[in-house]
Amino acid sequence: MGYWLVKSDPEEYGWDNLVHDKFTSWTGVRNHQARNHLATMKKGDMVLFYHSQKDKAIVGIAKVTKEAYPDPTAGEGNWLTVDLAPLRKLKKPVTLETIKSDKRLTGMPLIRQSRLSVMPVKKEEYDIILTYAG
């Protein structure tokens, strides 16, 4: 099973929108690295849902319900999307500050590559993050 983290600006599309919609197609990724990560996702993989900008925290866990397929919102180029469904909300959001303060987590692309919006998470990192979530 794979573990991932996706970022979203909650003012555009946040966790609450995902819960309301029941599932969503994760369209709009226009970065090659992020696209390659989407391509690697498997059905059933766990996806940490991170709110950028105002929140700067992981707020919930989603699940991959459909593996990569062409992004219908892309005019040119072979961009991909996956379907995500909400699994559960974290009892306590895990903030960027918390992640930065734990030496075991400072290697994450979330910190080292702040602009990347879809990234892999190691199982160890995933487990550590969940211990912070209460």
Partner DNA sequence: GCCAACGTTGGC
- Euclidean distance between CA atoms 91 and 78, whole angstroms: 38
CB of 114 to DNA, least distance (A): 4
Report if residue 81 touches DNA, rule: CB under 7 A. no
Report if residue 115 touches DNA, rule: CB under 7 A. yes
CA-based R_g, the chain, Å: 14
Report if residue 39 touches DNA, rule: CB under 7 A. no
CB of 6 to DNA, least distance (A): 9
Q: Are 93 and 55 in contact (CB under 8 A)?
A: yes
Determine the size of the site formed for DNA (CB under 7 A). 18
CB of 54 to DNA, least distance (A): 8
CB of 85 to DNA, least distance (A): 21
- Euclidean distance between CA atoms 61 and 87, whole angstroms: 6
The candidate with the shortest Cα–Cα distance to 71, out of 42, 122, 99, 31, is: 31
Residues in 3-22 that interact with DNA by CB under 7 A: 7, 9
Q: Which stretch binds DNA (CB under 7 A): 19-27, 64-72, 84-92, 108-116?
A: 108-116
- Euclidean distance between CA atoms 53 and 64, whole angstroms: 24
Going by C-beta distance under 8 Å and a sequence separation of 6 or more, which residues neighbour residue 36?
none
Q: Catalog residues that contact DNA under the rule CB under 7 A.
A: 7, 9, 30-33, 52-53, 56, 96-97, 100, 110, 112-115, 117
